[in-house]
């Protein structure tokens, strides 16, 4: 990275920032504030996806199980279900694909309820050994948010999920593979994938809110690596630019090339 430390590149960017990098070929790790609890925004949909596949594997849910969309289910912002007509039949598979690929908030809340609510998801997260990642409320629950109840993740724990997924150890091998394929189909590509222009596959999940911007994923280069970047209370355009440049620099470095900036 042009001889500069990670902290030097982060210097001057406001807010609470997390960066975690792990080279999956060499095991090399680069981390900054990676254990810190971070308000999750839509990155919380990754633990929801994992719990969905865990319950499918356990026979609690079925991929073809139907849910009938109700008007009261619809949420604003990301996704497309808020534009769909009431009464449309959705499978669990439809819901988890929409939740990740389009970051659909309506699909996420429906799944959280189908999974048994936050208690069921958090119980599984605790069993997996995660202490920070917690789904504490539904998305767009303004009453809970006004009370300071937020969903939390950490860079290190999300990276651990992604690493287990890469090696086929998250739920099981088949589930791990399918989850990676869903994350590769992510349509929000303005952060980690920005400079790549499709040159390598990237399985990732973004998150955005006021003063919050995240991207976490697996970059499948000649030396695959995990990169988790999270910002709370930050200058989002500035931190996004950092994520774009860092992802490209790390990819070039692992490919035997140098340089932080792609023009």
Domains of the chain, by residue range, sit at 1-36+154-263, 44-130
In this structure, are residues 55 and 115 in contact, taking their beta carbons and an 8 Å threshold?
A: yes
- And the tokens for 163? 């690493």
In whole angstroms, give the CA distance from residue 242 to residue 236.
10
Q: Look up the CATH architecture of domain 1-36+154-263.
A: 3-Layer(aba) Sandwich (3.40)
211-241 core/surface letters (b: 16 or more CB in 10 A; e: else): bbbbbbbbbbbebbbbbbbbbbebbeeebbe
Q: What pLDDT shows up at residue 262?
A: 39
Which alpha helices (DSSP H) does 36-116 contain, by range?
45-57, 92-101, 105-114
- At 174, is the secondary structure helix, strand, or coil? helix
Ramachandran area for residue 41 (φ above 0: left; ψ -120 to 50: alpha; else beta): left
pLDDT of residue 2: 62
What sign for the dihedral angle of Cα 219, 222, 225, 231? negative
Query: Which pLDDT score is estimated for 76?
Result: 82
Query: How high is the pLDDT of residue 6?
Result: 85
Tens place of pLDDT for every residue, the chain, 263 residues? 666 678 888 989 999 999 999 999 999 999 999 999 999 999 999 999 999 999 999 999 999 999 999 999 999 888 899 999 999 999 999 999 999 999 999 999 999 999 999 999 999 999 999 999 999 999 999 899 999 999 999 999 999 999 999 999 999 999 999 999 999 999 999 999 999 988 999 999 999 999 999 999 999 999 999 999 999 999 999 999 999 999 999 999 988 755 444 33
């Amino acid at each position: 990275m042009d001889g500069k430390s990670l902290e030097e590149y982060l210097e001057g960017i406001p807010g609470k920032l997390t960066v975690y990098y792990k080279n999956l070929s060499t095991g090399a790790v680069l981390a900054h504030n990676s254990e810190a609890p971070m308000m999750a925004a839509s990155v919380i949909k990754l633990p929801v996806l994992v719990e969905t596949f865990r319950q499918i594997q356990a026979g609690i849910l079925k991929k073809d199980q139907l849910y009938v969309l109700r008007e009261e289910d619809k949420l604003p912002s990301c996704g497309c279900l808020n534009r769909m007509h009431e009464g449309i039949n959705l499978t669990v598979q439809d819901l988890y694909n929409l939740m990740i690929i389009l970051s659909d908030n309506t699909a996420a809340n429906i799944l959280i309820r189908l999974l048994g609510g936050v208690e069921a998801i958090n119980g599984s997260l605790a069993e997996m050994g995660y202490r920070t990642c917690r789904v504490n409320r539904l998305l767009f629950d303004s009453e809970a948010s006004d009370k300071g109840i937020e969903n939390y993740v950490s860079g290190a724990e999300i990276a651990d999920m992604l690493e287990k997924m890469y090696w086929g150890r998250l739920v099981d091998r088949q589930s791990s593979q399918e989850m990676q394929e869903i994350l590769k189909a992510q349509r929000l590509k303005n952060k980690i994938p920005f400079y790549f222009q499709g040159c390598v596959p990237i399985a990732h999940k973004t998150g955005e809110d006021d003063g919050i911007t995240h991207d976490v994923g697996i970059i499948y280069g000649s030396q695959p690596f995990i990169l988790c970047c999270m910002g709370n209370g930050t200058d989002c355009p500035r931190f996004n630019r950092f994520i774009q440049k860092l992802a490209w620099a790390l990819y070039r470095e692992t490919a035997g090339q140098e340089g932080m900036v792609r023009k």
